[in-house]
Structures are given as C-alpha cells and as structure tokens.
Amino acid sequence: MWSRTSGSDVESGEKPLLSNMILEGSEIRWAFIRKVYSIVLFQLLATAAVSAVVVFVRPVSAFFVGTTAGLAVYVALIASVFLVLFPMYYFRKRHPINYLLLGIFTICLSFSIGLTCAFTSGRIILEAVILTALVVLSLTLYTFWAAKRGHDFSFLGPFLSSALTVLIIFGIIQIFFPFDKISVMIYGFLSAIVFCGYIVFDTDNLIKRYSYDEYIWASVSLYLDIVNLFLSFISIFGASER
C-alpha cells in the first residue's frame, strides 16, 4: 500500500502520483456504491408505498383478484416485469431512459408484491420485513468486511445460477401441481438460502466489478435479491401458519 508523504517526489522512490490515483479511484468507487444504495432505497420505499395502497385500499386487491379484467391486468404487470428487464439491461448506461425503465419495472413489480401481501396476515409481513432487514444488513456488512480482507465471492456465480434455475423450474411446476405445506416451507427455505448467496455475490460485484456507469443494473440486482428474500420468508411463515 502506498502512503502519502508531504514533500515526497518521484526521484525519492515514492509514488505520490500513483497514491493519489488510488485514492481518487477509491473515492469514485465509494460514490458509486452510495449511489447504488440510494437507488435501491428509493425502489424499496416505492415498493412499500405501492404495496400499502394495494393492501389497505381493498377495492384495488379485489379488482385484481375478483374480476377477469383485474386478472388480465395482473398478468400484464407480471409480463411487464420480465419484458422491461431486457431493454433495461440494453439501455442501462443511457440516461435518462435507464431511470424511466427502472421506474416502470419497480412499479410493476411492486403491484405484484402488494397483491401477495394483501392476502397475508400483518404479523407475517412484519416478521418477514424485520428478518429481511436483519439478514440483508448482516450479509452486507460481512461482505464489505470480507472484501476488505481480500476475500472473493465470484466463485458463487455458477452455483447460484444453477440453483436459481432449479427454483424457477420447481416454481413453474408448483403452479400446475401445488405443493403441500411442508414442500412450500422447504421451497421457501431453499429460496432464502439462494438469495442470501446472491446478496453476498452481488454486493461483492458492487464493490469490485461493476463499472461506474452500471449503477442501474447493480441496483436492480440488489433490489431483486432483497425482494425475493422477503417473498421467501413470506412463503415460509405463511406455510407454517397454515
């Protein structure tokens, strides 16, 4: 590690210019990290606000569940979540279209999360929120601590991708052949483990690998990790209460 010493020059064998460059790079990286977490916080607040509307304004949730038009709108919202991901990845570095797509993505996903919460007891939602916050905070602090000591978590990528593929396949199967209570709890528990791994993996990427103009995609990755972890806890607690 280079140290900064007043009055040093290149001929003395020290590297003040390189030291300044390293310091500047570190400051830029921290600014990038703060920007990403600010965007994620805004997404979570927007999700909480939209979900609250769906939960507490009962005609909204009744419309989505009780009418054919509502079901069609719900399907369109879910489709929009996936359809917006592709252009958002393509335009992730282009301002302001990346923010516009991010807003559409967040609002559409927030409605689906709100509908999940609308038919879940308040106690389960509160427990899931608290547990999600504690787990995310703990894993984030751990990853920063580990990265500072030179640990690398890039090896998790292939394992997490494979596990996520298996979860998606079983999720599709569950639509047509619903699981029993124990199977739902196991599925939720495995999902929670996978997305805990993704929080560590994506946080490590945020610290080391994302370029400075990929703040949108870094935010989306962390946001999806947090949301899916929350839904996993909802699934576990909901099945246990059934």
Percent share of the chain, pLDDT over 90: 41
What burial class does residue 167 get, using C-beta atoms within 10 Å of its C-beta: 0-12 exposed, 13-18 middle, 19+ buried? middle
What residue has token string 């209460």?
A: 241
What pLDDT was estimated at residue 143? 94
Check residues 8 and 124 and name the one with the higher pLDDT.
Answer: 124
| Encoded amino acid at 218, one letter | A
Q: Read off the pTM.
A: 0.84
pLDDT for position 79: 72
What b-and-e string marks burial along 187-206, b requiring 16 or more CB atoms within 10 Å of the CB? bbeebbebbbbbbbbbbbbb
User: How far is residue 164's CA from residue 183's CA, in Å, rounded to a whole number?
Assistant: 17
**Per-chain mean pLDDT for the chain:** 83
Mean pLDDT check: name the lowest of 75-89, 115-129, 167-181. 75-89
Residue pair 117/55 in contact (Cβ under 8 Å)? The answer is yes
Residue 141 confidence (pLDDT): 96
What average pLDDT does the segment 171-178 reach?
82
Cα separation, 27 vs 15, whole angstroms: 18
When mean pLDDT is compared across 58-62, 114-118, 203-207, the lowest value belongs to 58-62
- Residue 185: CB partners within 8 Å, gap ≥ 6? 235, 236, 239, 240
Amino acid occupying residue 23 = L
**Confidence at residue 159, expressed as pLDDT on a 0 to 100 scale:** 93
Q: What is the mean pLDDT of residues 166-174?
A: 87
Q: Could you tell me if 185 and 240 are in contact, meaning their C-beta atoms sit under 8 angstroms apart?
A: yes
Cβ–Cβ < 8 Å for 106, 51: no
Out of 78-92, 136-150, 194-208, least confident range:
78-92
Residue position matching structure tokens 């001929």: 11
Confidence of residue 16 (pLDDT cuts 50, 70, 90): very low
Per-residue pLDDT tens over the stretch 71-103? 666 676 677 777 888 888 888 888 889 899 999
Inform me whether the pLDDT recorded for 191 exceeds 70.
Answer: yes
